[in-house]
Amino acid sequence: MATNGALRTPAVEDYTKAIFSLESRHDEPVPTKTLAERLEITPGSVSAMLKRLDELGLITHIPYRGVRLTPEGRRIALEVIRHHRLLESYLAEVLGMPWDRVHAEAEVLEHVLSDDLEELIAAKLGHPTVDPHGDPIPTVEYALDERETTRLDELPIGATGRFVRVSDSDPEMLRYLAEQGIALGAELEIVERQPFGGPLFVRFGEETHALGDALTRAMRVEQGEPAA
Amino acid sequence: MATNGALRTPAVEDYTKAIFSLESRHDEPVPTKTLAERLEITPGSVSAMLKRLDELGLITHIPYRGVRLTPEGRRIALEVIRHHRLLESYLAEVLGMPWDRVHAEAEVLEHVLSDDLEELIAAKLGHPTVDPHGDPIPTVEYALDERETTRLDELPIGATGRFVRVSDSDPEMLRYLAEQGIALGAELEIVERQPFGGPLFVRFGEETHALGDALTRAMRVEQGEPAA
DNA sequence: AAGAAAAGTTTGGCATGCCATATCCTTTTG
DNA sequence: CAAAAGGATATGGCATGCCAAACTTTTCTT
């Protein structure tokens, strides 16, 4: 009795989200093991779930080769991502929740947000296109506009750019950035790089910060001319 | 592996909420059958769940006699009710959701609201004491201030009062009231009562409405002198 | 190309959570 | 005091979701 059309549990949504994100990185099928690591469950469990997702028509699973999302699976992933990022935006902007906490909160609420409520909060926010971490918010039609950005650690010495995006998954990192006064939108210049995994020296306005590589790999930069 | 202390699923929360409300009505133990009807599940299933709730220390179950909430059970019920009513208030006031829809939405979200978020929305609303239907909101310390009110259908002809509370569970009713322009806070006077379950004629300002008994039983009135 | 290693799948098992039916027991009531 | 009503219990079922271990397929290494 699969009720109606789609059987969407939080787990199903989490799988499609994970597959979507891993599939976007390198444009090829996602191996079971990669998914298992991402979701922190055993490959065996993942295998079982992939079977279900396949039956639900959300993925195409070629045994021993990996999975891809079907258009329907992609739709669900984008819907949940839209929920997640709208919620993050809402919590931060309207309720003033610190940006290192919004992710965990949204992770729960994303599975429960009704279409009605989604629309109300999107309207309240003026239909934003990016969330507090700079991640693009899919439109109601599930179009996702990924801007061209470069990882901070990949910029050469002397390069300039604007800090426009950062991974939302590590609260520590976000808290650290906030403490250092480094916020999205900041103009920056690469000053110096220490070898052997040493810090990257980056100038933001007057201040120069020594940033570890975990951090610079999580930060993304838009290159090109500064705004003014 | 009961994880930690409390095992709080949505079902457990719904049971405690239901018991709380039934127990408040007539101050005596709630029979299994009454609960079963309220929750729309079979008495057999309810019995099984009551056993669990007893083991969890949330209720005192005297077989064949009924159940009462323990202080801990009461605490949980009030916490969930607080969530529910704060959410209803928030959805209506901040997001402009119509008052006949907030209940259904809150019914889901109440189980998922974190303490952090609860505090933020309470603050945003200025720590309200009643929700959009006039139901009192328990304080953070789980104190519930039930105002003295009278059911509209129990008022005698010629009585006056203020419409201050209405059951939130029937969207149709709420929509009807909204359409008729009857809102909380309205001063009213009982004009006439037709016999045999006929309508009650109630004057609100200039307008007199003929209200059916299902409606007048759901509406509650605060008596005493009008504001001015 | 053989064999080992790595990746993936299958099987069996387990826990939670929720509900229904059928049957048996208790309490109340006529 | 017996029948009816209400309640409890036993049994069964279903779905989700996870793990461990055994087994299969693919890939890597020599």
Q: Is A114 on the interface with B (CB under 8 A)?
A: yes
Q: Is B62 on the interface with A (CB under 8 A)?
A: no
- What is the average per-residue pLDDT within A92-101? 96
Check residue A4 and give its pLDDT: 35
Number of CB pairs, chain A paired with chain B, less than 8 A apart: 39
Q: What distance in Å separates the CA atoms of residue B168 and residue B81, rounded to the nearest whole number?
A: 13
pLDDT of B80 > 70? The answer is yes
Owner of token pair 């010495």: A157
Least confident of A127-136, A153-162, A217-226, B190-199: A217-226
- What is the average per-residue pLDDT within A204-218? 94
pLDDT of B198 > 80? The answer is yes
Tokens of A162: 């604007």
H or E stretch at A76? helix A71-93
**Distance of residue A194 Cα from the nearest chain B Cα, in angstroms:** 41
B55 by DSSP, 3-state: which? helix
Check residue A225 and give its pLDDT: 57
Check residue A228 and give its pLDDT: 45
The verdict on a CB contact (< 8 Å) between A116 and B124 is no
Higher-pLDDT residue of A133, B65: A133
Strand C neighbours (CB under 7 Å) are: A 31-34, 43-44, 46-48, 50-51, 61, 63-64, 66; B 1-2, 7, 9-12, 39, 41-42, 44-45, 48-49, 63-64
Q: Minimal CA–CA distance to A21: which of A85, A104, A64?
A: A85
Check residue A227 and give its pLDDT: 45
Note the pLDDT tens digit of each residue in B206-225. 999 999 999 999 999 998 65
Check residue B6 and give its pLDDT: 58
Give the nearest partner residue to A112 out of B97, B112, B124, using CB atoms: B112
Check residue B187 and give its pLDDT: 96
pLDDT of A6 > 80? The answer is no
Check residue B49 and give its pLDDT: 87
Q: What does each C-alpha distance from B166 to A13, B135, B169, B196 come to in angstroms?
A: 37, 8, 9, 23
Owner of token pair 């003014």: A228
- What is the average per-residue pLDDT within A210-226? 88
pLDDT of B226 > 90? The answer is no
Give the nearest partner residue to A108 out of B96, B112, B120, using CB atoms: B112
| Strand positions, DSSP E, B63-186 | 66-69, 150-151, 160-166
Note the pLDDT tens digit of each residue in B107-133. 999 999 999 999 999 999 999 999 999
pLDDT of B227 > 60? The answer is no
Q: Indicate if the alpha-carbon torsion angle B213, B219, B225, B226 is positive or negative.
A: negative
Higher-pLDDT residue of B2, A22: A22
Percent of chain A with pLDDT over 70: 95
B7 by DSSP, 3-state: which? coil
Mean pLDDT over each residue of chain B, to the nearest integer:
90
Q: What distance in Å separates the CA atoms of residue A174 and residue A215, rounded to the nearest whole number?
A: 9
- Amino acid, single-letter form, for residue A56: L
Q: What distance in Å separates the CA atoms of residue A186 and residue A165, rounded to the nearest whole number?
A: 11
Is A185 exposed, middle or buried, given 0-12, 13-18 or 19+ CB atoms closer than 10 A? exposed
- What is the average per-residue pLDDT within A78-89? 97
Residue B104 CA and nucleotide D3 C1' are separated, in Å, by 44
Q: Evaluate if pTM is beyond 0.85.
A: yes
Mean pLDDT over each residue of chain A, to the nearest integer:
92
Interface test with A, best of B103, B111, B116, B124 (most A CBs within 10 A): B116
